[in-house]
Amino acid sequence: MQTFEDYLNSNIPQIDTFYKDYNIAIKHIMSASGKLFRPKLLLSIVKTYEPLLLESSYQVALAVELFHTYSLIHDDLPAMDDSPLRRGIKTLHTIYDEATAVLIGDAFNTHAFELISTASFRDDVKIELVKILAKNGGLGGMVFGQAIDLAYENKLLTLEQVEILHLNKTAKLIAASLVMGAVIVGLDSKVKDRLYQFGLDLGLLFQVQDDIIDVTLSAEEAGKPTGNDEDKNSFINLLGLEESVAYANNLASKIEEDFKSFEPKLQSALKELLDKYLHRHRV
């Protein structure tokens, strides 16, 4: 059985060969696919509960990764964070131009939903998957969080407001990935609700960890520019480094306690990823 990484590398989207420069740009941005955390969350649930559906789920997992990559391409644009580096490679707008980056981001966004719509699942499952990704990635989630982030640069928010910002910008797509896996294998609504809340906590932890990494690692170590959040509503700017680490530790402890309350099969599905990422702020 091929791995998801192999599947991703052999299924990088392409457009008409007449536009070969765009294909080169697409291959460039997909060559550094990052941690693949979101698709791996989805696939870990499928692999544990319905392993025969694993390879069929790769197409949906790729959709999640493409959608996430679109968000990073746009987040790095000059109109937003104006970042020259992402995942250890140069961002698209710095190699090509802003229009190319915008269009490739747009293409990844829409292609994600095409992939889900043509996956080998029942129509009702595919409709639910589309709904979850659209809701958590759009006005009710990631895009809304990004809008808050930009609107309130240089305006200090409260801790509760910062949590709302990052729950939308970062956490909801992580939570959605877990629930999409649960939909594919047919877990009941109570389990899906618990997974969603668990994913929100996990996503919030990821954001705090990224804020800590921004002030403790070099750009080479982090794979992206660091020390760039002075104008942002980061946890570091609000709480300081020491309190941010304490916040992350408390949130990690809560996630661990919630994890222990899951049924053994669900624990088995998520244990490897949690072991790898839950305490990365302590490195």
Confidence (pLDDT) at 24:
86
- Residues of the chain above pLDDT 70, percent: 92
- What average pLDDT does the segment 115-144 reach? 98
Most confident of 73-77, 213-217, 226-230, 232-236: 73-77
Interval 256-278: pLDDT, tens: 999 999 999 999 999 999 999 99
Q: Report the interhelical angle of 142-151 vs 172-185 (nearest 10°).
A: 180
Range in 6-10, 121-125, 167-171 the model is least confident about: 6-10
Distance CA 201, CA 179 (A): 14
**Percent over 90 (pLDDT), the chain:** 75
Lowest mean pLDDT among 13-17, 85-89, 100-104: 13-17
* Separation CA 92–CA 86 (nearest Å): 9
pLDDT of residue 230: 65
pLDDT at residue 226 greater than cutoff 80: no
Q: What single string gives the DSSP state of each residue in 12-53?
A: -----GGGHHHHHHHHHHHTS-TT-HHHHHHHHHHHHH-GGG
> What is the per-residue pLDDT for 217?
67
What does the chain come to in residues? 283
Query: Residues 215-231: what's their mean pLDDT?
Result: 60
Q: Sketch out the chain's domains with CATH numbers.
A: 4-282 (1.10.600.10)
pTM value surpassing 0.85: yes
Residue 229 predicted with pLDDT over 70:
no
pLDDT digits (tens, 9 = 90+) for 97-121: 899 999 999 999 999 999 999 999 9
Burial status of residue 23 (CB atoms within 10 A of its CB: 0-12, 13-18, 19 or more): middle
Average pLDDT rounded to a whole number, residues 63-67: 97
Higher pLDDT, 79 or 226: 79
What is the structure's pLDDT at 4?
95
Per-residue confidence (pLDDT) for residue 47, from 0 to 100: 98
Exposed/middle/buried for residue 144 (C-beta within 10 Å: 0-12, 13-18, 19+): middle
Q: What is the model's pLDDT at position 28?
A: 86
Position 271 scores a pLDDT of 96
If you average pLDDT over every residue of the chain, what do you get?
91
Contacts of 65 (CB under 8 A, 6+ apart): 8, 33, 36, 38, 39
Q: Please report which confidence band the pLDDT of residue 225 belongs to, taking 50, 70 and 90 as the band edges.
A: low
Residue 134 has pLDDT above 70, yes or no: yes
Is the pLDDT higher at 17 or at 128?
128
Question: What is the band of 29 on the pLDDT scale with cuts at 50, 70, 90?
Answer: confident
Strand partners, 85: 90
Query: Which pLDDT does position 207 carry in this prediction?
Result: 95
Closest CA to 172 of 127, 223, 206: 206
pLDDT digits over 142-179, tens only? 999 999 999 998 888 999 999 999 999 999 999 999 99
